[in-house]
Amino acid sequence: MSEKELSSKSEQASFFSAVLHKLSDSQKLTASEAEEAFGAIVDGSIPPELIAAFLMALRVRGESTEELLGAVIALRSRMLPVPLAPIDTIDVCGTGGDKYGTLNVSTAVAFVLAGLGIPVAKHGNRAVSSQAGASDVLSALGVPLFSDPARLSQQLKTHNLVFMAAPHHHPAMRHAAPVRKALGIRTLFNLIGPMVNPAGVKRQLVGVFSPAWLAPMVDVLAKLGSECVWAVCGLPIIGGQGIDEVTLAGPTRIEALENGARKALILEAEMAGLKSAPISAIKGGDASFNAQALEALLHGEPGPYRDTVLLNAACALHVAGRKTIVRGTEIDTHALKNCIAEVSRPLDDGTALAVLNDLRKLSSDTHAENMTG
């Protein structure tokens, strides 16, 4: 390491120490302070025990919107991007950290949307606070995952679907990954993940573990140039823990950003003509269990898992700009039901399954790099 690099790391460590003192007094960081602190973490200048102290101090006091903004800017400035994504590309991703351990909903939604010809650049990772993250399940399904940006761009163009491994595009995150795994609880990094999409998508359906974070996440994405965002949080138990997806088990709160305007919406399964079901109906397991359930879904298996995926996919259809299910400040139930019918087709006619099988065939003669982290 050069003398200049050593000096830079020393300066970052000194700044980080000052930040910890500020947090110990329950003070909030400015966006620029948070950007510098998270930059120091991902640059490898901070030891694990201080990273843990920093994340826990934020968690106990309660993270702020400005701290989230600074963290996202820090990570975006250091990521390895996937270029040339179509302008209408969408991401469907959840924060995790809701502790429900459900089957993989947003990953299944991605196959449905791709089956409809909608480009999806899904950002994902291995499980941190659950049994099976998106990349765990994709590996179990036999889907090869790549790191080369040019290859990913071509895959998106050809198949309308690409899965981007967080460790491939945010290699600096390796400094925080062991700490996150050791803590095993939700931290600010859960919120950051869906907001640092390497393809630079401007349209996102983001599942959030708590309704308290719906507006702040939309605030940050709006400031960073997003065009259409639905931040959603299902409420299976009134007053209880939220779930990071649109749910059949109760109302779902939505904070929407569309054409520069903000809307707060409520969605329930019955509005889509679907039956309510408890969260236990889509309880997941390990990667193999979840992969089998996802493949059965793509073969047309009915049930609460399918209905949950349809409800989320219908919302994503709106976010992608293909349909409109909002009139004024309310959900248009007739339009929503039509969207449910449309997103059902890729599951019924095998189109979504064909996308999975096409991705499985990739790289028979090219090295595939599975997600790690």
Find out whether 122 is annotated in a ligand binding site.
Answer: yes
Find out whether 290 is annotated in a ligand binding site.
Answer: no
Look at residues 181, 102, 158 and name the one whose alpha carbon lies nearest to residue 134.
Answer: 102
Task: Give the three-class secondary structure for 345.
Answer: helix
Find out whether 104 is annotated in a ligand binding site.
Answer: yes
Find out whether 240 is annotated in a ligand binding site.
Answer: no
Find out whether 126 is annotated in a ligand binding site.
Answer: yes
Contact 136, 145 (CB under 8 A): no
Q: What is the pLDDT of residue 371?
A: 36
Find out whether 21 is annotated in a ligand binding site.
Answer: no
Find out whether 102 is annotated in a ligand binding site.
Answer: yes
> Tokens at residue 190, please?
């859960």
* CA–CA dist 349, 328 (Å, integer): 34
> Tokens at residue 346, please?
């890729």
Contact 284, 131 (CB under 8 A): yes
Look at residues 208, 140, 176, 196 and name the one whose alpha carbon lies nearest to residue 54.
Answer: 176
Find out whether 105 is annotated in a ligand binding site.
Answer: yes
Span 256-279, pLDDT tens digits: 999 899 999 999 999 999 999 999
Q: What is the pLDDT of residue 365?
A: 41
Helix (H) or strand (E) holding 254: strand 252-258
* CA–CA dist 295, 300 (Å, integer): 9
Residue 183: count other Cβ atoms within 10 Å of its Cβ.
17
Find out whether 125 is annotated in a ligand binding site.
Answer: yes
Which residues partner with 261 through β-bridges?
258
Q: What is the pLDDT of residue 363?
A: 61
Q: What is the pLDDT of residue 10?
A: 87
Find out whether 129 is annotated in a ligand binding site.
Answer: yes
Find out whether 98 is annotated in a ligand binding site.
Answer: yes
Q: What is the pLDDT of residue 305?
A: 98
Q: What is the pLDDT of residue 241?
A: 86
Which residues partner with 260 through β-bridges?
none
Find out whether 97 is annotated in a ligand binding site.
Answer: yes
* CA–CA dist 366, 354 (Å, integer): 21
Contact 1, 36 (CB under 8 A): no
Q: What is the pLDDT of residue 2?
A: 62
Which residues partner with 232 through β-bridges?
207, 254
Span 178-234, pLDDT tens digits: 999 899 888 999 899 999 999 999 999 999 999 999 999 999 999 999 999 999 999
Q: What is the pLDDT of residue 370?
A: 40
Q: Which residues of the chain have pLDDT under 70?
A: 1-6, 126-131, 238-239, 363-373
Q: What is the pLDDT of residue 176?
A: 93
What is the total residue count of the chain?
Answer: 373
Domains of the chain: residue spans and CATH: 3-77 (1.20.970.10), 90-356 (3.40.1030.10)
Contact 289, 300 (CB under 8 A): no
